[in-house]
Amino acid sequence: MKTRKHVATPPSPQRRRFLEVAGRYGFTTAAMAAAGGYLWSEADVALAATDEAAKQKAAKHQMIFATEYKEDAFHTYPIMQTQFKDNLETLSKGAVYVKLHPAGQLGIGSQLAQKVQAGTVQGGSVSLSNFSPFTPVVDLINIPFWCGENQKFANLVTSSAWNDEITPKVTVKGYKPIFYFTVDPRTVAVRKGFGKIVKTPDDMKGMKMRVPSSKLLQQFYRLAGANPTVVAWGETPTALKQGVADGLDPAVGALYTFGFIDILEAITLVESVPDAQMFAANYKWFESLPKDLQATFDEASAKTQAQSFAQILVARKNSMEAMSKVGIKFYTPTAAEKKQWVEACGEQRPEWNDIKKELAGSIDLFEKLKAAANTKGPISVEG
């Protein structure tokens, strides 16, 4: 996408140093050096480059792993790409080498999802909104107020119900789920000049709410009384500045990381829908691994998933501190206001029944998944 340079970008000297290291030693070495804090040490960078070359040469299997996020994005956005690389290489004792391609080098969104499906890229990180055209069943998470809270989402995607019912529908499309994670719940963020904080659905009456092409999110905001306005992600900053859209709904960390800090007036933490992502591998590539390495792969995936959920609170805190400093207001609805949101838009409304049947196959299966979201799983999410 094309947006202005955001404040999460490292200072110019560090960025220049990163590009210099990437040019000499490769992007993976530069990413590891930046994440490890030794970017300015020529000796350590050279040693890391040697180590990377040696690891790549010694490995029996190579995995090209791509994301649209910069190597240091995890500070404000819990995208744990370098951690996944380290976990898989370490636990496999060097049998698998992971070559990172961050920052959109190999595509973003649906383009990257297609490459993973085709196997030209062995793995990548894709938002579930971009992933849903390939496996529509995952779009269930965009029905509001049943798994939007971080703990409920963690419970859901680590449950046997999800693994038994949803995973087979993903693998049949050519994907091996590495793990699911969430940036945080989606918000209701309004542009400068909107003039009020959205506290209840009544405050959204007539509001032009920017949405992606998701039909579920469009229905959500229609139920809230807003006018959902489909705007391409790359055009969203301009749409907000020109008043074509009044608000948008990404998680706090996403709003900060993608440079909306000087466009927004207020952000409401409604906890409606998870701003969720998926690390996915090409299924045929995964199946080509020896069985013991498949088990190691799953172990590394589970470890990275736990790290990602643990990073949410840190990333949110860093993002909120930066945005608060420039005057952006944050609002958490009261219990009574939250009840109004649920009553107006929640999954219990009959308007969602056809979608539940279409995506889940039956209301009973949706209820099974909802029960899983409300049953504590192996991961505890703070905050």
Output the pLDDT for position 2. 40
52 falls within a domain: yes
Q: Do residue 163 and residue 39 come from a single domain?
A: yes
Q: Do residue 199 and residue 122 come from a single domain?
A: no
Residue 379 in 3-state DSSP? coil
Q: Do residue 94 and residue 241 come from a single domain?
A: no
- Domain extent at residue 285: 12-182+276-311
Residue 382 in 3-state DSSP? coil
Segment 140-150 mean pLDDT? 97
Percent residues over pLDDT 70 in the chain: 97
Q: Do residue 101 and residue 73 come from a single domain?
A: yes
Q: Do residue 55 and residue 178 come from a single domain?
A: yes
Q: Place 232 in a pLDDT band, splitting at 50, 70 and 90.
A: confident
Q: Do residue 237 and residue 334 come from a single domain?
A: yes
Q: Do residue 209 and residue 288 come from a single domain?
A: no
Does residue 4 surpass a pLDDT of 50? Answer: no
Render pLDDT for 244-289 as a digit per residue (tens, 0 to 9).
999 999 999 999 999 999 999 999 999 999 999 999 999 999 999 9
Q: Do residue 210 and residue 151 come from a single domain?
A: no
Spatial neighbors of 275 by CB under 8 A, at least 6 apart, are 127, 182, 183, 184, 185, 186, 250, 251, 254
Output the pLDDT for position 3. 40
274-282 and 123-127: which strand pairing? antiparallel
159 Rama sector, left if φ>0, alpha if ψ -120 to 50, beta otherwise:
beta
5 falls within a domain: no
Render pLDDT for 281-336 as a digit per residue (tens, 0 to 9).
999 999 999 999 999 999 999 999 999 999 999 999 999 999 999 999 999 999 99
Q: Do residue 218 and residue 93 come from a single domain?
A: no
Output the pLDDT for position 330. 98
Spatial neighbors of 36 by CB under 8 A, at least 6 apart, are 48
| Cα–Cα nearest to 25, from 6, 3, 43 | 43
Q: Do residue 197 and residue 340 come from a single domain?
A: yes
159 falls within a domain: yes
381 falls within a domain: no
For residues 47 and 156, the model is more confident at 156
153 falls within a domain: yes
Render pLDDT for 109-122 as a digit per residue (tens, 0 to 9).
889 999 999 999 99
**Count of domains forming the chain:** 2
Measured CA to CA, the distance from residue 57 to residue 27 in angstroms comes to 17
Q: What is the pTM of this model?
A: 0.90
Kindly report the CATH number assigned to the domain that includes residue 340: 3.40.190.170
Q: Do residue 214 and residue 119 come from a single domain?
A: no
Q: Do residue 16 and residue 113 come from a single domain?
A: yes
Output the pLDDT for position 183. 97
Render pLDDT for 6-36 as a digit per residue (tens, 0 to 9).
444 445 688 788 888 888 888 788 877 887 7
341 falls within a domain: yes
Output the pLDDT for position 11. 54
Render pLDDT for 58-113 as a digit per residue (tens, 0 to 9).
999 999 999 999 888 999 999 999 999 999 999 999 999 999 999 999 998 889 99
Indicate the residue type of 21.
V
7 falls within a domain: no
383 falls within a domain: no
